[in-house]
Structure 1
C-alpha cells in the first residue's frame, strides 16, 4: 500500500476531487456545476430563501454565496425578487430551469455514486458512510 493512500486527508481529498470532477463532466455541458447542487437542493426544500439563509444552510461564506447566486441567476436557475416586508432583502427561488437542472444533477450524482461504489458490497458502502458520518460529527464538535 502506498503511503499516500494511508493518509486520511489524501484519500478524502482525492475522492472528493474525483467525485466533483466526474459530476462536472456530466452536468457542465448543461450549464450547471457541482457547487450549485447544494443550493438547488436547499431551494427545493425551502422553496424561498434569502442569500444569508442559503449561505448558512450550505455552509459557505456570504461572498461565495453571492457569487454563486449571481452565476445561477445569469444561467436562469434561480430568480431573485425584493422582499415586500423588507426591501433590503432579496428572496431567492428556483425557476423551472433550476428544477430541471436539479433533476439532472440528482440523476448524475446517482450515476457517479454507482460508479464510485463499483465492486463494493452494500455492507461495505454502508460502513464507509457510517464511518465518514462519524468522522464529520467528530470534527464538528467543539473541542
Structure 2
C-alpha cells in the first residue's frame, strides 16, 4: 500500500510542478513578474491597504513589499496615496492598467485549466475536489494544524509559520 501512496503523491507533485512551470513560462512572456501577481491580487481585493497590511498578508518582509510596490507603481499598475490621518502611511490601490494586466495574466491560466480538466464531467470534478479536500484535511491533521480556509494566502501563512518555528 505504501508504494501506491508514493505513486499517488508523485502524481500530485507532477501536476503541481507542471502548473508552476506554466506559470513561470507565462510570466516570462508578460509584463508581470511571478511574485507581483499575488501583490496585485491582494491590493485589488483590499483597496487602500497599507504596505504593512500587504506584507503581513503575504508573509513577506516589508522591504520586499516596498521593492515590489515601487516597481508596480513605476509600471503604472498601482498608486500610493498618503493617509490623511497618518502622513507616514501610504495606502495602495490598483489602477485600471493594473486590473488589465491581471486580466491578461488570468486568461491564459483559465485556458490552461480548461485544457487540464477537459474530458471530465462536473460529477467527476466534484468527486476529485472532495478527494483532494479529504487528503488535505488528513495531511493537516497529521501535522497538527487546522486546515485554513480554501485560500492560498492562508496556506502560505501556515507554511511560513511552520518554517519560522523550525528555525
TM-score, normalised relative to structure 1: 0.72
| From 94, 116, 133, the counterpart of 1:130 | 133
Residues 44-59 of structure 1: pairs in structure 2 closer than 5 A: 44-59=44-59
Relative to structure 1, the CA distance from residue 134 to residue 109 in structure 2 (aligned partners, 3 Å threshold; closer, same or farther) is farther
1:53 and 1:63 map into 2 onto residues whose CA distance is 13
Aligned partner of residue 30 in structure 1, secondary structure:
coil
1:132 and 1:37 map into 2 onto residues whose CA distance is 27
Post-superposition shift, 1:58?
2.4
Aligned partner of residue 103 in structure 1, secondary structure:
helix
Post-superposition shift, 1:51?
0.8
Name 2:25's counterpart in structure 1: 25
**Does the Cα contact within 8 Å between 1:27 and 1:104 map onto a contact in 2?**
no
Residues 32-47 of structure 1: pairs in structure 2 closer than 5 A: 32-47=32-47
After superposition, give the CA deviation of every residue in 1:99-137 in whole Å (9 maximum; x if it has no partner).
101212222222232344356541453135414643675
Structure with larger RCO (C-alpha < 8 A, sep 6+) = 1
Residues 56-71 of structure 1: pairs in structure 2 closer than 5 A: 56-71=56-71
* RMSD of aligned alpha carbons: 3.3
After superposition, give the CA deviation of every residue in 1:11-48 in whole Å (9 maximum; x if it has no partner).
66654443233123234423013322222222222221
Q: Choose 116-125 or 100-109, whichever is displaced more.
A: 116-125
1:110 and 1:27 map into 2 onto residues whose CA distance is 14
TM-score, normalised relative to structure 2: 0.64
- Tell me, which stretches of 5 or more residues in structure 1 are unaligned? none
Relative to structure 1, the CA distance from residue 50 to residue 129 in structure 2 (aligned partners, 3 Å threshold; closer, same or farther) is farther
**Does the Cα contact within 8 Å between 1:27 and 1:108 map onto a contact in 2?**
no
Relative to structure 1, the CA distance from residue 101 to residue 6 in structure 2 (aligned partners, 3 Å threshold; closer, same or farther) is same
- Tell me, which stretches of 5 or more residues in structure 2 are unaligned? 147-157, 163-167
Query: Considering only CA atoms, is the larger Rg found in Structure 1 or Structure 2?
Result: 2
